[in-house]
Amino acid sequence: MLDIGLSIVSLARFQFAMTTVFHFFFVPFSIGMAVLVATMETLYAVKKDKVYLDMAKFWGKIFLLSFAVGIVTGIIQEFQFGMNWSEYSRFMGDVFGAPLAIEALLAFFIESVFIGIWMFTWDRFKPGLHALMIWMTAIGTMLSAIWILAANSFMQHPTGFKINNTTGRIQLTDFGAVITNPQLWRVFPHVILAAIMTAGCVIAGMSAWGLLRKKKDENHFFKVSLRFGLWVSLIFAILSAGAGDLQTQQIIKDQPMKFAATEGIYKDTKDPAPWTVVEAIDAKNHTASSQVEIPKVLSILAYHRLSGSVKGMNSINKELHAKYDKKFGKDMNYYTPPKTLFWSFRVMTGIDLLVMLIAFLGVIWSRKKKDTIENKKWFMVIVGLAIWVPFIGNSAGWFITEFGRYPWIVYGLFTIADAVSPTSTVGTLLFSNIVYFLLFTLLGGVMIWYSRQTLHHGPYYEMEDSKQNVDPFAKEAFVK
Amino acid sequence: MTLANLWFILIGLLFSIFLFLEGFDFGVGMSTRFLAKDFDERLALMTSIGPHWDGNETWLVTAGGAMFASLPLMYASLFSGYYIVLLLVLVGLILRGVSFEFVKHAETRTGKNIWMWTFFVGSFMAPFLLCLMLLSMVQGIPMNANGDAFPKFFDVVNLLSVVGGVAGTLLSLVHGLNFIRLRVEGPLRDRARKLNQILYPILFLGEVVFAVLVFFQTDFFTKRFGSSLFITVLIVLFSLLGYYGVLKDKEGFSFAGSGLSLSMVIVLLFNGLFPRVMIATNPAHSILIKNAANSHYTLTIMTIVAAILIPIVAIYFIWSYTLFTKRINPREHTVKY
């Protein structure tokens, strides 16, 4: 271990966080875009309005860019359990591998095969049948989310297992319990709904930039897209807030420390509990001083009623020590990183509310009767900038989930420090961290650059272009 | 047969399918520099695997996932032990994977060339390093009682592993050229055949060197003489079938021949490993299938899942190939730079 704080565990954790966050930029966006592009194509098949076909094609290009990056970074995720966390893989193999393998067999194959078909069969299938191909991809991405979240939910709240006394490893006893884990069925809707919201925000935001250019031939296209994106953002921001609330109820039950940390509560609150908006946290001395408080709101958030106190981290810490000292020793630190969780929660919920507000105003101002949205340039710029906020919100949500598990990698059973590969060295980990960092910077930069360029060209760019030149990736390359 | 053994075979099968499919995928990527003369041709080659590469790669993901789900101790030892090699494999697969999409969006000649080069480099890196790793692990590497592998540089990079890596890469290239003969028309197709006429003799030489090195550097022929010999002969016979197909201009034969040779390399390695999954220089530390495997309950579930899903996957996977059978002509479209 080096003195500058580069321990193997911290490097491995940093790498996991970096790869996961980067991967998770693209995954929710791809899931959402798949669903929305499929919806657009279905609308075309039903209504026969060409604008929906143009939409499916144009937004499909943005979708494919994110899908490509999402796919390739996904392989890192699968490999790095073995590469960086081999002790974890040994301990958890009996439970964790199954969802991962099923994900590949059930979901990845559907995604990867049908996306290939969808890309190359635009003029070979009837619109309805062609839309089915992207629906298959969308279903594949969602199935994939179920299985990876099933694995993650087990790490948050282990169910259906026992510890094998001879090997000391986890042994699966009830597969049904793993896939009916209450955590799973609360986190899954939250993730999917937020994913669709994310895609809605990007479509609305990019359409706003498109409209601001004031090109006559593109006006209708971007207007329809903007309305579509705003409606999706509004509906799914509300739904994902609801799903998040349900998930919170479960977290209070299963992981009280995580919840107390997201609220920055050290001492048990009074009854009814007030909700802290801003707080100064002193993580070293386990104290916090609220700076803005709203009475009773935390009781409502936590219990859906006007009374009830919430347990603070100090008492939960004591309980955890009483419960686990025999197994993990007296020196274990059970305080999850309170500042990260406190602020991540506020960023996540704040962003959701912000999206609701923007989308609500946008829907109002763009309604047919009193369509004034295009004159509000300031508002269009805000919609355009709001492309970025759901990505930050998604990452914040992921931070809460993963940092809130501390100090365990499998809640109550196996610590992060025990999970790391014994073969790792600071040198190799530094090397891989740098490689990944450079790679992600490159991929992220290129992806954003090409998305921007696609928007700049507008929806009719390639169609005019194809009069002289056949797109080498279009069906002509195959059918002729 | 125990379920653990069944899964060992299944993982071998998944890797073989992966190498059969992604083998030509990689080979087509490599041939963008060896065969194509201009950008149009490169793009036509890339297009020939455009709808398929993602599905092909999924077999690797599945093999990895299946290893984690059935033999987690193998997964943990192998993946953590070959950290740097796998990191580079990932870099290759990533650069290659994004190039399919990025090359469409690049507008300048330089931009398009950059992604064509990453496509080439990635297609070359992945099979070479994967074969290097596999041929390194079967020679036996330093491991401790916990099952942690600590291969040193010369455990990873040595005569057999490098020859194996080169042979695997060459076989992938040959396989790719055979695929191109099935999917592309015009001069590219003829050039692929001519190049293969040159490459096959080199390949046979490589296979002989490979077989000799396997004989001396591994315990395959001392532990499992009959089967190892049989599979080695099959590798050469399938290559001969491929060569016959090239000479007689029967693309189907040559494609099947080169693909099966590649698959048989995996079969040889897995047959030699059996009943071990990792070979340690100290035999006491080698990991056996029965020790590496998950519980009977988990394996039963996985077996049921695989028995249901693999046939379904196979059906739509094959269907997706039947959709794109029309040959591509690189001259029938012009590409905007």
The interface predicted TM-score (ipTM) is 0.93
**pLDDT value for A479:** 43
pLDDT band at B333 (very low <50, low <70, confident <90, very high): low
Of B55, B148, B317, the CB nearest to A422: B148
Average pLDDT of span B62-68: 96
A357-406 pLDDT, tens digit each: 999 999 999 987 777 888 899 999 999 999 999 999 999 999 999 999 98
A105 with B309: Cβ contact below 8 A: yes
Residue B173 located in a structural domain: yes
Residue B134 located in a structural domain: yes
H or E segment at A322?
Answer: helix A313-328
Q: What contacts A378, CB < 8 A, 6 or more positions away?
A: none
Is there a contact between B139 and B155 (Cβ–Cβ < 8 Å)? yes
Nearest-neighbour CA in chain A from B207: distance (Å): 30
Best to test chain B binding among A102, A118, A468, A476 (most B CBs inside 10 Å): A102
B304 burial level (CB within 10 Å; 0-12, 13-18, 19+): exposed
Residues B28, B45: Cα–Cα separation, whole Å = 6
Whichever domain contains B28, its CATH number is: 1.20.1630
**pLDDT value for B156:** 96
Nearest-neighbour CA in chain B from A272: distance (Å): 47
Residue B147 located in a structural domain: yes
Residue B186 located in a structural domain: yes
Range of the domain at B273: 3-278+288-299
Residue B325 located in a structural domain: no
Q: Which pTM value belongs to this model?
A: 0.93
Of A64, A89, A173, the CB nearest to B101: A64
**pLDDT value for A473:** 52
Closest CA to A54 of A206, A222, A201, A204: A222
**Placement of tokens 């963008």 in the chain:** B32
Of A68, A98, A423, the CB nearest to B101: A68
**Placement of tokens 């992600």 in the chain:** A440
* A460: helix, strand or coil: coil
Residue B45 located in a structural domain: yes
**pLDDT value for B290:** 94
Residues A190, B285: Cα–Cα separation, whole Å = 46
Nearest-neighbour CA in chain A from B231: distance (Å): 29
Closest CA to A177 of A252, A81, A259, A99: A99
For residue A108, list chain B residues with Cβ-Cβ distance below 8 A. 58, 61-62
Low-confidence ranges of chain A (pLDDT < 50): 1-3, 464-472, 474-480
B258-287 pLDDT, tens digit each: 999 999 999 999 999 999 999 999 999 999
Of B104, B295, B306, the CB nearest to A94: B295
B333 with A73: Cβ contact below 8 A: no
Is there a contact between B56 and B25 (Cβ–Cβ < 8 Å)? yes
Is there a contact between A137 and A118 (Cβ–Cβ < 8 Å)? yes
B72 with A89: Cβ contact below 8 A: yes
Could you give the number of structural domains in chain B?
1
Nearest-neighbour CA in chain B from A412: distance (Å): 21
Q: What is the CB neighbour count within 10 angstroms for residue B208?
A: 12
B333 with A109: Cβ contact below 8 A: no
Work out whether strand A408-410 and strand A414-415 pair parallel, antiparallel, or are unpaired: antiparallel
**pLDDT value for B326:** 85
Q: What is the CB neighbour count within 10 angstroms for residue B221?
A: 17
Residue B189 located in a structural domain: yes
* A306: helix, strand or coil: coil
Ramachandran area for residue B336 (φ above 0: left; ψ -120 to 50: alpha; else beta): beta
Cis amide prior to A407 (ω within 30 degrees) = yes
Closest CA to A189 of A127, A148, A142: A142
Closest CA to A266 of A244, A286, A238: A286
The per-residue DSSP string of B304-327 comes to HHHHHHHHHHHHHHHHHHHH--SP
Of A69, A432, A472, the CB nearest to B43: A472
Residue B110 located in a structural domain: yes
Query: Chain A: residue nearest B305 by CA?
Result: A102
CA B333 to chain centre: 32
Given a cut of 60, whether residue B58 has pLDDT beyond it is yes
Given a cut of 60, whether residue B304 has pLDDT beyond it is yes
Nearest-neighbour CA in chain A from B42: distance (Å): 11
